[in-house]
Amino acid sequence: MRTSKTAAPGTPEDYLANVPEPARATLEKIRATIRSVMPDGYTEGISYGMPMFKHKGIVCGYAAFADHCSLFPTPGVIEKFKDELKNFEMSKGTIRFPANKPPSAALVKRMVKARLAEL
């Protein structure tokens, strides 16, 4: 993970290379899940210091922190799925989860599809 003395990551691969296990494996699975439902023409890069998917706007981002991982699917998506996310810590645009207990791939796919529909 990045500290104040390390350079900002240039690519999602750079970002993930600096994430310790088990968070790295979890975020790699989330990344693959998001990629599986992204339409042609999407971009993937670093925005706000974290990996981010874009297609006609921000779709979703993800990140690792010292004691959890987060998924950033936008506030509207979190509101739509709040009942399914009740076992996760949430804030306006963030879903936080232990590195070894992410949301299911099926739920992540539904959230990404919902965000794409918004765009």
- Supply the range of the domain harboring residue 33: 12-114
Structure tokens at 54: 């874009």
The verdict on residue 67 lying in a domain is yes
What is the tens place of the pLDDT at every residue in 73-110? Answer: 999 999 999 999 999 999 989 999 999 999 999 999 99
CATH number, domain containing residue 69: 3.90.1150.200
CB atoms within 10 A of CB 68: 16
Q: What is the model's pTM?
A: 0.90
Domain count, the chain: 1
The verdict on residue 5 lying in a domain is no
The verdict on residue 36 lying in a domain is yes
Is residue 39 reached through a cis peptide bond, with omega within 30 degrees of 0 on the bond before it? no
The verdict on residue 2 lying in a domain is no
pLDDT above 90 covers a percentage of the chain that reads: 89
What mean pLDDT is reported for the chain? 92
The verdict on residue 72 lying in a domain is yes
